Amino acid sequence: MGAQDLLEGLKQAVVEGDEDAAASFAEQAIGAELAPLEIIKGAINPAMDDVGQAFEDGEAFLPELILAGDAARAALDYIIPSISADDLEGSVQGTVVIGTIFGDAHDIGKNIVSAILAAHGIKIVDLGINVPPKAYIEAALKEEADIIAISSLITTSLPYHREVINTLRDRGEREKFFVIVGGGPVTPEWTAEIGADGYGRDARDAAVVCQQLLAGRAEGKTAPLPEPVTVGALEHG
């Protein structure tokens, strides 16, 4: 099988959420000595983009997005060990510290966001649920993260979003990390009100927002942004 066929096969396997096929194509591509980063750029990233766009357009459903993420990770398990140290630095787009905010025990949604971000080549540091505001900051400093991602499923936990941002500001470390927020009760208006840098309604949006923020960081932008990056808000009314 030629290089292009392998990449097409891998892309299709990820789109269809077929873990076994994705792993097999990835193994074959590495065996055929395709450059690891080219496999990622030529097959996995476009596959995740296609599924993500279909989800955004209402043509794919969340479990399909998760299936694709699982298939992408299965392929990456074969590809990443073949990446050299120099290449690896370029392959990791950034680091996101993520957790469900204090007072909120919802786990699944945050795990889905983590899986989708990981499938986009973003390093994830998952702090779990019921995360105190200061724990996000300590982890972000320790991991030299680019983004702090806060998940919320209940309205009563929203005030702790503001506490994360205010604590960063009080400690003089606000410019070090972009802060994004998302989950059922979170709105773009709330995001702007608390001075966060990004809003994502769901896992796909979170991936898009993170990619935009990381691209902005590469261009020299620092937090806080004058206007948050918002993706996926439904029209009100």
Partner 1 sequence: MTVRRDWVLEYDVDDVLRGQAADPDVVRARRPRLVEFAQQALENGRDLIEPAVLSRRLGVEGVRHGRLLLEDGHRLSGDLAVEHLGPAQYVVVMLCTVGDSLAQAAIRESSSNLVYAFALDSVGSAAVTALGAAACNSIETGAMASGLETTLPLSPGMEGMPVDPGQREIFAMIDPEEVGVVLTPNLEMVPLKSVTMVLGVGANVATPGGPCDYCTLRDTCRQRIS
- The residues of the shown chain that bind partner 1, judged by CB under 8 A, are 16-17, 61-64, 66-67, 69-70, 102-108, 111-112, 115, 154-157, 184-187, 201-202, 233-234, 236
Token digits of residue 10: 């891998």
Q: Are strands 95-100 and 123-126 parallel, antiparallel or unpaired?
A: parallel
As measured in angstroms, the least distance from the Cβ of 175 to partner 1 is: 29
As measured in angstroms, the least distance from the Cβ of 223 to partner 1 is: 24
Long-range contacts of range 37-43, CB-CB < 8 Å, 24 or more positions apart? 37/83, 37/87, 37/90, 37/91, 39/7, 39/10, 39/75, 39/79, 40/76, 40/79, 40/91, 40/121, 42/7, 42/11, 43/6, 43/7, 43/8, 43/10, 43/11, 43/14, 43/75
In this structure, the chain runs to a length of 237
As measured in angstroms, the least distance from the Cβ of 222 to partner 1 is: 28
Which lies closer to partner 1 via its Cβ, residue 103 or residue 224? 103
Which lies closer to partner 1 via its Cβ, residue 16 or residue 27? 16
As measured in angstroms, the least distance from the Cβ of 193 to partner 1 is: 15
Which lies closer to partner 1 via its Cβ, residue 116 or residue 139? 116
Which lies closer to partner 1 via its Cβ, residue 83 or residue 113? 113
